Structure 1
Amino acid sequence: METDKIEELFRNLKDEFDVETPAMGHQQRFLDRLNLKNITKVDKIPKRKPYKAFLSIAASILICFGLFVFLQNKMEVSGLASVSPELSQTQDFFTTAINSELKKINAERSPENEVLISDALKQMELLEKNYERLKIDLKESGHDKRVIYAMISNFQSRIDILENVLTSIENLKELKHSEQNPMTL
């Protein structure tokens, strides 16, 4: 039944089909026109101006910088720095001193004093954990002076440990040097 409808459609449209063969060179003229359109399309592609790319990169950098500054300002200052500007300077002083001593110790690291240094670093980790608890206590206590003194004492203990390690390293060096070069009478 379906085939009957299709055959009937073809019979009705019989005179309307274009069955003539194209003139000679038709295919070449068609290809020439097609190629001409492709060439003009390639030429019509808008070229981006180089300054637009630069401006978009610059805008992205400015947005990132703005977000960074905004987020830095929102971050809450903790530790002694949150109490007063003087204690902020104190915290900065201790932090700088501790970092300086740590650099000295790492410069002196050797197999002979490795155990000494690793023990000192473990003690430093314990004091750092203690300091983190003190920061929470300071926030909860509303800047209690006893907590502030404990924080300063924590910093001093860290510096004392590092200074003792440096002294011990120097003593080990001298002992090793004296064993290598014994004095004769």
Structure 2
Amino acid sequence: MKNEKDSLDKLFSRLENQWDVQELNSDHQVDFMQKLNKKEPKKKYWFMTAIAASIVLMLGISIFYKNEKPQQFKFASKETKRTDSIFNILIDNELVKLKEKSSPENEQIINDALKQMKTFDADYQKIINELQKNGENKQIIYAMISNLQTRISFLQTVLKRIEDNEKLKNTSNEKTL
């Protein structure tokens, strides 16, 4: 035990000149207490978090609902752009109605309708490519409007068929009771 104490004494004697032995000023305790008692307002990270969440939400919406129509029609006239946007709004409304009618009984009809809509979309893309390549002329504009009208009438026909099936089902159920 004595050897350990001697070795510690030697260690401390070697480090004796290296110790920080500066005296604290007399107001040190007062300064310390003031800093301790001083209440700094808590940083409100919720504000920054809300801003960051808003930015992420906006980016997410812009990525998932990217509207490519204005880019496709940079070269088209205002009337063509307006016609396209009006028809596409109508088509989107009909698609929403179609998806609202989704049920196990209507699943096959809706899936077939969506496949047919993809075909119409592919045809429409060909028309747009032709419009880009050759510019606007009556035949291309007529083909574009015809495609858009066909899509709307097709969706309306599908919706009518679904409603007829629902009426038939309800009527047959009433007769069996």
Q: TM-score range by the shorter chain?
A: 0.5 to 0.7
Query: Residue 95 of structure 1 aligns with which residue?
Result: 88
Q: CA deviation at 1:77?
A: 3.2
Q: How does 1:16-27 map to 2 (within 5 A)?
A: 25-27=13-15
Stretches of 4+ moved more than 4 A in 1? none
The answer as to 2:173 corresponding to 1:180 is yes
How many positions carry a matched residue from both structures? Answer: 127
Cα distance in structure 1, aligned partners of 2:89 and 2:105: 27
Query: Residue 120 of structure 1 aligns with which residue?
Result: 113
Deviations 1:105-156 (Å, cap 9, x if unpaired)? 1111111111111111111001101111111111111212211110111111
Deviations 1:49-82 (Å, cap 9, x if unpaired)? x9xxx9xx9xxx9xxxxxx9xxxxxx97324x74
Stretches of structure 1 lacking an aligned partner (at least 5 in a row) = 1-21, 34-49, 62-67, 69-74
Contact 1:138 1:147 in 2 (8 A): yes
| 3-state SS in 2 of match to 1:182 | helix
Query: Residue 147 of structure 1 aligns with which residue?
Result: 140
TM-score, normalised to structure 2, is 0.62
Report % sequence identity.
Answer: 35
Kindly provide the amino acid, as one letter, of the partner of residue 129 in structure 1.
A
Task: Give the greater-gyration-radius structure (CA).
Answer: 1
Cα distance in structure 2, aligned partners of 1:133 and 1:173: 36
Query: Residue 77 of structure 1 aligns with which residue?
Result: 71
The answer as to 2:153 corresponding to 1:165 is no
Query: Residue 59 of structure 2 aligns with which residue?
Result: none
Contact 1:82 1:88 in 2 (8 A): no
RMSD: 3.3
Deviations 1:13-62 (Å, cap 9, x if unpaired)? xxxxxxxxx9x8440331437xxxxxxxxxxxxxxxx9xxx9xx9xxx9x
TM-score, normalised to structure 1, is 0.59
Answer 1 or 2: higher relative contact order, Cα 8 Å, separation at least 6. 2
Kindly provide the amino acid, as one letter, of the partner of residue 77 in structure 1.
Q
Cα distance in structure 1, aligned partners of 2:19 and 2:173: 94
Cα distance in structure 1, aligned partners of 2:75 and 2:112: 31
Cα distance in structure 1, aligned partners of 2:138 and 2:17: 95
Cα distance in structure 2, aligned partners of 1:106 and 1:126: 18
Query: Residue 149 of structure 2 aligns with which residue?
Result: 156
Contact 1:101 1:163 in 2 (8 A): yes
Q: CA deviation at 1:174?
A: 0.3
Contact 1:124 1:158 in 2 (8 A): yes
| 3-state SS in 2 of match to 1:140 | helix
Query: Residue 18 of structure 2 aligns with which residue?
Result: 30
